Structure 1
Amino acid sequence: MQAYKGRAGSSPGTQSGPAPVPFGRRTEDHKKHVQAIPLPAMQQNLNYMYPQIFWEEGCTNPSTSCPPAPPAAPFPPPVPDRRKKPRNNREEKSVGFLVVSLLMLLSLAGVGLSLFQIFRLEKELAQLRESASTEHISPALEKLIGEKSESMKKEERKAAHLTGNPKQQDLPLEWEPVSGHAFTAGIQYRNQGLVINETGLYFVYSNVLFRGSTCTSQVLTHVVYKKNPASPGNQVLMQDKKINYCANQKMWARKSYLGALFKLREMDSLHVNVSRTTLVSFEESKTFFGVFKL
């Protein structure tokens, strides 16, 4: 595109002044400068406004070749965003190593604390054992006593000893299960007899003292028998009979003892019968009845 210099009212084809110069050309001489020539702001007979025309001196002849324009400066490189720092793998590795090291130190500290507590508890336990051995009894003697007591408990679990009860009402004989020397352990006293709760070998014994003030010809009988709900009737285990136990009309006394080993079943009940309850002395050291499991 070429710029033209003209006057108001002249036709566009009419030229005046020097030849047009291509727009945007520059000369090599730095002393020359570009001059801006303003046109009239408004023409009376025109309905449009002329734009400003820039005249560049130095190349007035369009037929002559003008030197080419210097190349435009390239755009500057984009400014990097300094808000986001590039990741550094080395820094990440160092941070990870630091975290792992801290975790290992914490775990080692926990293990050390646990070992210290265990050592302290063992030391206190050793001191308690030493004080017990010096002030009380030795561990060997304590173990022996424990074994003795344990064996005694095992014996007590399956044993019973009953003593005479003077408040007799009817046969079989009634007994005292708790007072004095009497006890029951693992065997129950019920309905005037001892009830077996476990099948096994048992030693059964009974002692009865008979005494009177006059001599008679009546036979003295002492019987130990058993019965079971699953079996009808009674089964005699031991029996003793006394005949001619007195020679004159004076006071007399005779002892009857029965004892033997039997295999008893569960729910067997043991009882004692005598011929005359009025002739029985019910002192606990003279009349008694018992059983114990082997």
Structure 2
Amino acid sequence: MQQNLNYMYPQIFWVDGCPSAPPSAPSAPSITPFPPSVPDRSRKPRINRERRSIGFLVISLLLLLAFTGVGLSMFQIFHLEKELAELREVRSAWLEQSMKNEARTAAHLTGNPDQWDLPLAWEPISGHAFTNGIQYRDQGLVINETGLYFVYSNVLFRGSVCSSQVLTHIVYKKNPALLGSHVLMEDKSINYCTGQKTWARKSYLGALFKLRKMDSLHVNVSKISLINFEESKTFFGLFKL
């Protein structure tokens, strides 16, 4: 008895090189597997951008603070340097003025009671008296350098008996290259007292002159015995401008 071979062995069909079930046999529906889930990348870049923005802002602020600090430090340094420069200028000016004052050509002579002849003799070194760049010689001041000089003289006359004598106070100059003397300043007084009472009169002379080298300046008065020779009352001097 022949057995139905078709019944015992299922039919196999090849489609495109791959075996498949016979068309009569229903095939199971194909299930396409879902692809793996893709992470949401739209959120992460935004977070990174925010972080980068915050970091950039922080760095910018730090840089701004650093530059501000450097700027303030430079300003303070510049200000200190300016103040130091001003102090140096003030100190230099003070030293220069001090040196000029020390080296200034000037003289101040005070009254000397030990004299009996004219012109008046003076004290050149004691008390307030001094000479700087000027020679005191032969009862006068000798000019060492041509220039402008302010010359002054003060004399105090006093007496116990009033008389009609004229009081004369003269400052004059001499020069070896010229003959005679030349009056620079003069003061004459009359009617300076009344009656028999004690009297006193001050005579002051002062003016600016152009003096030449080797000029010598002297002071004459009408009568030596009427002079008060205290250093604060009778003096003679000059200074170069």
Report the TM-score range of the alignment, normalised by the length of the smaller protein.
Answer: 0.5 to 0.7
The corresponding residue for 1:251 is 198
RMSD after superposition: 1.4
User: Alpha-carbon deviations, 1:185-205, whole Å to 9, x = none?
Assistant: 000000000000111111110
1:279 aligns with 2:226: yes
Aligned-residue offset at 1:149: 1.1
Distance 1:145 1:202 in 2: 24
Distance 1:141 1:196 in 2: 33
SS in 1 for 2:233: coil
1:210 aligns with 2:157: yes
Distance 1:208 1:194 in 2: 17
Distance 2:213 2:220 in 1: 22
The corresponding residue for 1:149 is 98
Distance 2:88 2:151 in 1: 38
- Counting aligned pairs with the same residue, the percent is 72
SS in 1 for 2:225: helix
The corresponding residue for 1:41 is none
Which runs of structure 2 are paired with 1:46-195 in the superposition (5 Å)? 139=88, 142-155=91-104, 158-195=105-142
The letter of the residue matching 2:234 is: T
Distance 1:144 1:291 in 2: 25
Distance 1:220 1:214 in 2: 14
The letter of the residue matching 1:169 is: W
The corresponding residue for 2:237 is 290
Distance 2:90 2:137 in 1: 40
The letter of the residue matching 2:210 is: K
Distance 2:186 2:215 in 1: 18
Query: Could you list the runs of 5+ residues in structure 2 that have no partner in the other structure?
Result: 1-83
Moved over 4 A (4+): 138-141
Alignment counterpart, residue 212 of structure 2, candidates 251, 265, 268: 265
1:196 aligns with 2:143: yes
The letter of the residue matching 2:101 is: M
Q: RCO higher in 1 or 2 (8 Å CA, sep ≥ 6)?
A: 2
Distance 2:228 2:98 in 1: 35
Structure holding more helix per residue: 2
Count of residue correspondences: 156
